[in-house]
Amino acid sequence: MKNYQNFYFLGIGGIGMSALARYFHAAGKNVLGYDKTETKLTAELQKEGISITFEDVVDEKISSLKKEETLVIYTPAIKVLKILDYFNENGFEVLKRAKVLGMITEDTNCIAVAGTHGKTTTSSLVAHLCKVANLPFSGFLGGIAENYKSNFIFNGTEMSVLEADEYDRSFLNLSPDWAIITSIDADHLDIYGDTETIEQGFRDFADLVPENDQLFVRKGVNIGRPCKTYAVNEEADYYSDNLHIVDGWMMFDFHAGEQTVEFAWQIPGTHNVENATAAIAVLHNLGADFSAIQEGISSFKGIKRRYTKHTFENGKIYVDDYAHHPTELNAVIGSIRTFNPNKKLLVAFQPHLFSRTRDFADGFAESLAAADELLLLDIYPARELQKDFEGVNSDWLLEKVQLEKKEVCRLSEAFDKIKEKDFDILLTVGAGNIDTLYDPIMNWIGTLKN
């Protein structure tokens, strides 16, 4: 890839695509691209000097590119595009994002984090710890790290830290030297078909890691080969226990053989301590001092929309989260309930994909029933068409939720509905465009009286 001077991204506004675009931009390459929608992220890319068009037109910038100097990168979400047709018809090298990311991992000491849940937080924490330890790495993140206000961290090119995405079997393109597997739950059944097939996909990914002591798997997950295990509140090769809160800080003890080290950080939830345990274990094996790891843990601010929590002077609490699977919903709602007992919880949830809603409807219904009141938004379709999923909609899902106070509303109605409700804690949750409610809610909720 060093021979290419131009890198054109189709779908440059995606979280994974934009991190890759930033990587080549940091390397001094000419980076440009297309996306159908203007967002905060595309605006940031433009401010950084990356040229973006939002029209599917072969303009002068595209027609002036020479095929021998240009690599075209696209996301699988792109189906039909005039610009893509132009590049294909004119003999340009056109590759999927996962393939390009895989080529980068071939030339670096790669740490890849896989799992149906927890991989964004864990990979971002590993990258942050590498930064604090001053390791020469590039971090490709699946979310916006609050410490850096970015999904890309650059500190060198000898190592790479990234999220290994199981969707479309993308993670099988990688060449991981080190890997973490946080969980294996049924998901993306539109790709894999059944639970056994997705489990085999993760086993295939694990087989890419060359050394057993460089593969870290959450205890209880069967990966089919020797590995190092990690856990919370039970013994494993690496484990954490003694979880407690002191002045708003989550404290825990990390155990590695005969060593016990105390850590403190600002991220709530037992599941997040589990993520931290995996990250600490990897950095310890990379040779980082525990003092540097402690500093990194205590300074980690988390990921935007991964249990982003705000407490207001009026006593209200607002949590925004990306959870879009029943297991993830259980984790975030469970954390809220554990640390805020007897407080009235209002949940506004936007289901993501018709297929996922259909496949896990009973699980979603059970998770959402843990709220005191529910606003269920219309399903965010992403790459799917509703006509292909007759009868699958939010009204259908709502009927399954065993809750007295519940209703369906559109995203455009949600903010006004929220303002009518009585709650102590508000949780907005989902992977679609429910995040557009964040700023209006933040501007409003602090004005409320006790």
pLDDT in tens, 113-126: 999 888 899 999 99
- Tokens, residue 386: 């509703």
CA dist 273 and 263 (Å) reads 10
Q: What is the mean pLDDT of residues 398-405?
A: 95
Q: How far apart are the first and last CA of the chain?
A: 58
Q: Which residue from 233, 401, 412, 250 is spatially nearest to 335, judged by alpha carbons?
A: 250
Q: What is the mean pLDDT of residues 259-287?
A: 94
Model confidence at 304, pLDDT cuts 50, 70, 90, reads confident
Model confidence at 190, pLDDT cuts 50, 70, 90, reads low
pLDDT in the model for residue 255: 98
CA dist 231 and 217 (Å) reads 9
pLDDT in the model for residue 445: 93
Listed range (91-105, 156-170, 215-229, 367-381) with the worst mean pLDDT: 156-170
pLDDT digits (tens, 9 = 90+) for 120-167: 999 999 999 999 999 999 999 988 899 999 999 999 999 999 999 887
Is the alpha carbon torsion for 368, 348, 245, 234 positive or negative? positive
pLDDT in the model for residue 76: 76
pLDDT in the model for residue 186: 55
Model confidence at 217, pLDDT cuts 50, 70, 90, reads very high
Q: What is the mean pLDDT of residues 385-400?
A: 92
Listed range (38-42, 201-205, 363-367) with the worst mean pLDDT: 38-42
Model confidence at 193, pLDDT cuts 50, 70, 90, reads low
Name, in order, each residue with C-beta under 8 angstroms of 275's C-beta and a sequence gap of 6 or more.
118, 121, 122, 125, 182
Tell whether the model's pLDDT for residue 187 goes beyond 60.
no
By the 8 A CB rule, do 424 and 336 touch? no
Tell whether the model's pLDDT for residue 188 goes beyond 60.
no
Q: Which residue from 376, 380, 373, 378 is spatially nearest to 420, judged by alpha carbons?
A: 373
pLDDT in the model for residue 198: 83
- Tokens, residue 51: 């040229």
pLDDT in the model for residue 183: 87
pLDDT in the model for residue 117: 82
Q: What angle do CA 89, 92, 97 make, to 5 degrees?
A: 115
pLDDT in the model for residue 233: 94
pLDDT in the model for residue 279: 98
pLDDT digits (tens, 9 = 90+) for 49-84: 999 999 999 999 999 999 999 999 998 777 789 999
Q: What is the mean pLDDT of residues 238-261?
A: 94
Return the bridge partners of 18, or none.
Answer: none
pLDDT in the model for residue 85: 96
> CA–CA distance from 403 to each of 106, 324, 337, 367, 413 (Å)?
51, 19, 16, 11, 21
By the 8 A CB rule, do 308 and 291 touch? no
> What value does the CA radius of gyration of the chain take, rounded to a whole number of Å?
22
Q: List, in sequence order, every beta strand (DSSP E) within 102-149.
A: 109-114, 137-145
Mean pLDDT, the chain, whole residue set: 92
pTM of structure: 0.79
Model confidence at 191, pLDDT cuts 50, 70, 90, reads low
User: How many Cα atoms sit within 13 Å of 386 on the Cβ side?
Assistant: 9
Q: What is the mean pLDDT of residues 353-381?
A: 94
Model confidence at 351, pLDDT cuts 50, 70, 90, reads very high
